[in-house]
Chains A and B, each alone.
Chain A
């Protein structure tokens, strides 16, 4: 229902969406400006020191690896790397911020410009009503480039725990506690251009950014634990208008689905307000995944003047070509390049290449299988990984890395089909057994006596028997009813318990019948 309503609203209103993606650099051993360990959870206020607690006289010292990770992210997302950059102080008071200023970046971020291509397929295409204008295929699939404004580095805040109210919210709380374990963790902020037009594009963009960061290995990008947090700015304008409408900022989406649903909700809400002749308040709204709606944050809002000024506790950064080239050389193969390689080198269809390169672990798994079977069998590997293997992962709720069936076993299975030991049909059965028992394919085949018979002598014998006992059908075939070939193949296979090599059966049948 809501999808239909969304389409209706989007017929008269165009959504303008920009994302801010905060990513904790969880791959780092230490925080942004001190030597405290970076780890999720832990007993409150144990991963702290004078620096990240903002004790009097303590000073920040930048973490070189965090700067490198941010520049790698910039290079991977096609950004320009600033030759001269520095940190600024963002001044405001809040109890979760030990120094009452956040060390962040202002007008000189490490990375500027850039963008990613986002492919939209499936149901989500329908949200983009002008998809034909952006070059959509007949099936609706289209690719759109979302620009990136900047990527900068800052320090994370601590966490407030409100006690005595409901659900840990501040409303009704009797007092609040602060946990500074997270304070000072390196946080990379990516700001997109307001070039996203649908909730689906927003989801795909965020997923693509996450995939790139995972590929770089800079963060575990765990949205539930908050190591990746996506905030969205969304406004509506009448189709054809150039001016942006008044935007709302939506927070607290801790999954990609939540991001999509929150934006869809917000578009409907704003559309209703505007259709009724109302106006949108510029405000921050909170997504409630349970109630499936956004609500205005009731906390008292002060007009913020952050009084940015250059952080005097650190000297500015200068990055020369040599430094940037050295980092560029460290870039791993990125998802788009991986997908292209799968098409060019392995001959995979576009969709298969996209799915495999769109999931870091699945892609890695697939490549390990290919390593086992060789490039000529890469398509067979892709079919098995995307077919039975993916179905098993879904059913088991597992990931490629944790899967009970490792890539070497899967490769062996493919080889056993290729060398004719078993048929493709038998392979499905063997795979199910592999999952169930953890045995190697060869063991299963032996146990089940599941050899494929390719010996033409044995097959000829059965073929002759089948033809002899079906004389009427043989006559019909010879009279031109060639569709009966399948009937004979089936009969032979049944006779041989499914173990005959179908290619050999076909060949012998042709030899006998067409003679």
Chain B
């Protein structure tokens, strides 16, 4: 029997299986049915893992039948961005160079989801190697926004966002290097979180920029976001940058309300020219809701964040140019035919395997690290990074949470920005400083403009995910928006 996954939450699924209302297999089949119905229009997936899903669901059903206690994500259909390793799947990063690459081990965050009973339904489309903000830079074609199939879902985790938005998966994991979870979250009307750098192990997610990358969840509700974060966080011996820092039970602490919470609206970033005034207005309405709930609202400037964008486009590509060197055609991935010697093999394999945006970033990063340019580019960018961290530290002396829109615009048309990389890069102007500072941030749906979702961007102190969840939950409950895209609610399965 199939169920409408666009209305079921993770908690409801687990409880329903425990109560015998339905089975995990029902849930897996529901997800697969919705994927079958919608995938042709949306193209959220690079690979649908029906076999893995039904196997995992059967294990949960066995547990339930035996009367065993069910883990927190028991029977919940989940999707993973296709840069996360999962044995039994390919991990293509939406690139031709890894098109046939079969994972030989599991990503820690993925493993933790599966150990918590989640049912993997597929690997999601993305911008190649996470380079992009629209999921158009996929070697396998763009993902379409379930709210308007002519529009992008954002990126780079656009497939994960679209899958959750359309109810093809209940939860999804993405990776966020400069906004790649939060921006598509905003553009698809989902709750999307980038945890503090070090909160979640990066082991097994194909690295873009190691000092910025962080895995995080997509969900329909804040509660599911909190639940998922509790599952995937924690020190991992396989990631030397993961941090051993206790995490509260976020689903419990999020109910504490925002009375007296100090909320700072980031005035200078809000005033940026490229920000759609209607998006700005939508964001301010959300701030009013928080004020109505007892939060103390003020304004703050983050002047150094204006330089976040150029700094990011030095540091990100620099690290990426090194991280992507291993895709050389020697051990795995695409290998060009007919190479004359090893250098020729490298040149041809990489030229054939990488798409244009990957090549652009590799070249940018290689240049920025070159002898004689290092100080002027990479060194300077690291200084900007330090200034941004100081800006945030200062702001967090006066405020507990900082607010901007997640994206300066709502979802744009497919093809609209693809010929202009710089205008595309501006999509992440609000999200990038967060990665540079390593702090946590969440995007929560806060309304529609022209029938398209807008995201409220909440930023917190290092390791203070609890306050973010509390703020997001309070807002979500008070605003009580229905963020199901028409396509998803019309489906009726």
User: Which chain A residues have a beta carbon within 8 Å of chain B's beta carbons?
Assistant: 50-51, 53-62, 89, 91, 93, 95, 98-101, 176, 178, 300, 302, 305, 307-309, 312-315
List, in ascending order, chain A residues with CB within 8 A of B328's CB. 93, 95, 100
The answer to whether the Cβ of B369 comes within 8 Å of any Cβ in the partner chain is: yes
In the complex, how many angstroms separate the beta carbon of A69 from the nearest chain B beta carbon? 18
Supplied contacts A58-B105, A95-B328, 6 more A-B pairs, CB within 8 Å: A57-B205, A57-B206, A58-B204, A307-B322, A309-B374, A315-B241
State whether B241 touches A55 (Cβ < 8 A). Answer: no
Asked whether any CB of chain A lies closer than 8 Å to the CB of B98, the reply is: yes
Q: Is the CB of A314 within 8 A of B326?
A: no
- Chain A residues, CB < 8 A from B44: none
Q: Which of B98, B240, B322, B326 contacts A60 (CB 8 A)?
A: B240
Q: How far is the CB of B230 from chain A (nearest CB, A)?
A: 23
Chain A hits for B202, CB < 8 A: 57, 59
The reply to whether B326 and A56 form a contact with Cβ atoms under 8 Å apart is yes
The answer to whether B238 and A59 touch across the interface, beta carbons within 8 angstroms, is yes
**Between-chain CB contacts (< 8 Å), 21 pairs:** A50-B105, A54-B331, A56-B98, A56-B326, A57-B207, A58-B203, A89-B322, A91-B325, A93-B325, A93-B343, A93-B346, A95-B328, A95-B342, A99-B325, A100-B326, A101-B322, A302-B343, A309-B322, A312-B211, A312-B319, A315-B241
The interface-forming segment of B83-91, B393-401, B454-462 is B83-91
Q: Which residues of B contact A89 (CB under 8 A)?
A: 322
A54–B104 CB distance below 8 A? no
- Cβ–Cβ contact A55 & B84, under 8 A: no
Q: Mark B91-129, 1 if CB is under 8 A from A, else 0.
A: 101000010010011010000000000000000000000
**Complex contacts, B49 vs chain A, CB 8 Å:** none
Chain B residues near A55: list those with CB within 8 A.
Answer: 104-105, 332
Report A-chain residues with C-beta under 8 Å of the C-beta of B19. Answer: none
- Chain B interface helix/strand/loop/mixed: loop
How far in angstroms is the closest Cβ of chain B from A387?
55
Interface readout for B207-231 with A: 1 if CB under 8 Å, 0 if not?
1011100000000000000000000
Q: Give the A-B contact count at a CB cut-off of 8 A.
A: 99
Query: What are the 10 tightest A-B residue pairs by CB atom distance, in nearest-first order?
Result: A100-B325, A312-B210, A307-B369, A312-B211, A56-B206, A57-B204, A61-B240, A57-B206, A54-B326, A99-B326
B62 contacts partner chain A, Cβ-Cβ < 8 Å: no
Q: Are A305 and B371 within 8 A (Cβ)?
A: yes
The answer to whether B239 touches A61 (Cβ under 8 A) is yes
- Bound-complex Cα distance A321 to B249 (A): 39
Find B366's partner among A100, A178, A307 (CB 8 Å cutoff): A307
CB neighbours of A99 from chain B (8 A): 325-326
The reply on B378 being an interface residue by CB < 8 A is yes
| A91–B318 alpha-carbon span in the complex (Å) | 11
- Interface, chain B (partner A; CB < 8 A): 83-85, 91, 93, 98, 101, 104-105, 107, 202-207, 209-211, 237-241, 318-319, 321-322, 325-328, 330-332, 342-343, 346, 366, 369-371, 374, 378
* Nearest CB on B from A66, distance (A): 13
Chain B residues lying within 8 Å of A308, measured Cβ to Cβ, are: 369, 374
A313 lies within 8 A of B241 (CB): yes
Q: Is the beta-carbon distance between A313 and B240 smaller than 8 angstroms?
A: yes
A50 pairs with B369, CB closer than 8 A: no
- Minimum CB–CB distance for A299 against chain B, Å: 10
B residues in contact with A59, CB < 8 Å: 202-203, 207, 238-240
The answer to whether B83 touches A61, judged by C-beta atoms less than 8 angstroms apart, is: no
Complex interface: chain A residues within 8 A of B104 (CB): 50, 55
CB of B107 within 8 A of CB of A57, answer: yes
**How distant is the Cα of A198 from the Cα of B343 in the complex, in angstroms?**
39
Decide: A313 near B330, CB < 8 A? Known: A57-B84, A59-B240, A91-B322: no
A55 to B342 Cα, complex, angstroms: 20
| A residues in contact with B239, CB < 8 Å | 59, 61
Q: Are A91 and B369 in contact (CB under 8 A)?
A: yes
Cross-chain contact of B369 among A60, A302, A309 (Cβ < 8 A): A309
Which residues of chain A come closer than 8 Å to B205, judged between CB atoms?
57
Closest to A178 in B: B330
The CA-CA distance from A59 to B203 in the complex, in Å, is: 6
Chain B residue numbers with a CB within 8 Å of A101 are 322, 325
Judging by beta carbons under 8 Å apart, are B240 and A56 in contact? no
Measured CB to CB, the nearest residue on chain B to A304 is B371
Q: How far is the CB of B321 from chain A (nearest CB, A)?
A: 8
**Closest partner residue, chain B, to A33 (CB atom):** B240
- Expressed in whole angstroms, the Cα–Cα distance for A62 and B240 within the complex equals 8
In the complex, A54 Cα to B204 Cα: how many Å?
A: 11
A429 to chain B, nearest CB (A): 63
Residue of B91, B241, B321 touching A314 (CB-CB under 8 A)? B241
When chains A and B are docked, how far (Å) is the Cα of A93 from the Cα of B346? 8
Shortest Cβ distance from residue B387 to the other chain A in the assembled complex, whole angstroms? 18
Q: Is the CB of A56 within 8 A of B91?
A: yes
A100–B331 Cα gap in the complex (Å)?
Answer: 11
Query: Cβ of B325: which chain A residues have Cβ within 8 Å of it?
Result: 91, 93, 99-101
B293 to chain A, nearest CB (A): 39
Task: Find chain B residues with CB under 8 A from A95 CB.
Answer: 328, 330, 342
**A54: chain B residues within 8 A (beta carbon):** 326, 331
Contact between chains at A305 and B105 (CB < 8 Å): no
CA distance A56 to B175 in the complex (A): 15
* A154 smallest CB distance to B (angstroms): 15
In the bound complex, CA of A274 to CA of B83 (Å): 58
Contacts of B378 in A (CB 8 A): 309
Q: Which residue of A lies closest to B369 (CB)?
A: A307
- CB neighbours (8 Å) of A315 from chain B are 240-241
B107 CB → nearest A CB, Å: 6
Give bound CA distance, A305 to B372, whole Å. Answer: 10
Question: Which residues of chain B are within 8 angstroms of A307 by Cβ–Cβ distance?
Answer: 321-322, 366, 369-371, 374
Instruction: Write the nearest CB–CB distance from B171 to chain A, whole angstroms.
Output: 20
CA distance A101 to B326 in the complex (A): 8
**A213 to B325 Cα, complex, angstroms:** 35
Nearest-CB residue, chain B, relative to A96: B330
A98 CB contact (under 8 Å) in B209, B326, B366: B326
Question: Which residues from A are CB-within-8-Å of B84?
Answer: 57
Complex Cα distance, B409 from A407, in Å, reads: 84
Name A57's contact: one of B203, B318, B346, B369 (CB within 8 Å): B203
Interchain CB contact under 8 A, A57 and B85: yes
Closest Cβ of chain B to A63, distance in Å, is 11
Q: Which residues of B contact A93 (CB under 8 A)?
A: 325, 328, 343, 346
Contact between B370 and A53 (Cβ–Cβ < 8 Å)?
no
Smallest distance from the beta carbon of B209 to chain A beta carbons, Å? 8
Contact B210 A57 (CB under 8 A): no
Determine the distance from Cα of A62 to Cα of B332 in the docked complex, in whole angstroms.
25
Which residues of chain A come closer than 8 Å to B207, judged between CB atoms? 57, 59, 313
The residues of B that contact A56 with a CB separation of less than 8 Å are 85, 91, 93, 98, 101, 206, 326-327
Give Cα A89–Cα B322 distance, bound, in whole angstroms: 8
Across the interface, name the chain A residue whose C-beta is closest to B350: A93
Cβ–Cβ < 8 Å partners of A98 in chain B:
326, 331
Q: Which of B239, B331, B378 has the most CB of A within 10 A?
A: B331
Q: For the complex, give the distance between the alpha carbons of A56 and B99 in Å.
A: 13
In the assembled complex, the Cα of A62 lies from the Cα of B237 at a distance in Å of 10
Task: Give Cα distance in the complex from A99 to B104, angstroms.
Answer: 16
